[in-house]
């Protein structure tokens, strides 16, 4: 993994779902992170629910946190609900933190 990708993952780990005390990366809400040569970062992500009342806040936090990474020129976030999020997408660390392991 390139240094910029490591920094982007760190930035994503600073974005928390306000309803669940775990960051969106470990929750498994981030499906893809692609960094292009010009510094454009494309993020494909989902939400825990299509009706998430905090969707705008989460997406804004992704833009702000990833946009602050050195070398990132622009952030493009796309939401998808295919496949729908489920608990199996969480890392073991997130499951432990939530008492699911």
DSSP assignment of 44-76 equals EE--S-TT-TTHHHHHHHHHHHHHTSTT--EEE
Domains of the chain: 3-80 (3.30.300.130)
Q: What is the pTM of this model?
A: 0.92
Residue closest to 14 by CA, chosen among 69, 95, 71:
69
Q: Which residues contact 59 (CB under 8 A, 6 or more apart)?
A: 77, 79
Q: Each residue of 38-78: pLDDT tens digit?
A: 999 999 999 999 988 889 999 999 999 999 999 999 999 99
3-state helix, strand, coil in the chain (%, to 5): 35, 20, 45
Q: Each residue of 80-99: pLDDT tens digit?
A: 999 999 999 999 999 998 99
Structure tokens at 31: 């499906």
């Amino acid at each position: 993994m390139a240094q910029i990708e490591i920094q982007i993952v760190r930035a994503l780990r600073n974005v928390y779902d306000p309803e669940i005390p775990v960051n969106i990366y470990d929750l498994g809400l981030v499906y893809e992170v692609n960094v292009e040569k010009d510094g454009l970062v494309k993020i494909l992500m989902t939400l825990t629910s299509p009706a998430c009342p905090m969707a705008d806040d989460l997406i804004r936090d992704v833009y702000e946190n990833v946009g602050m990474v050195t070398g990132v020129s622009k952030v493009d976030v796309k939401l998808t609900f295919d496949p729908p999020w489920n608990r199996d997408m969480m890392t073991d660390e997130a499951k432990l933190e939530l008492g699911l392991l």
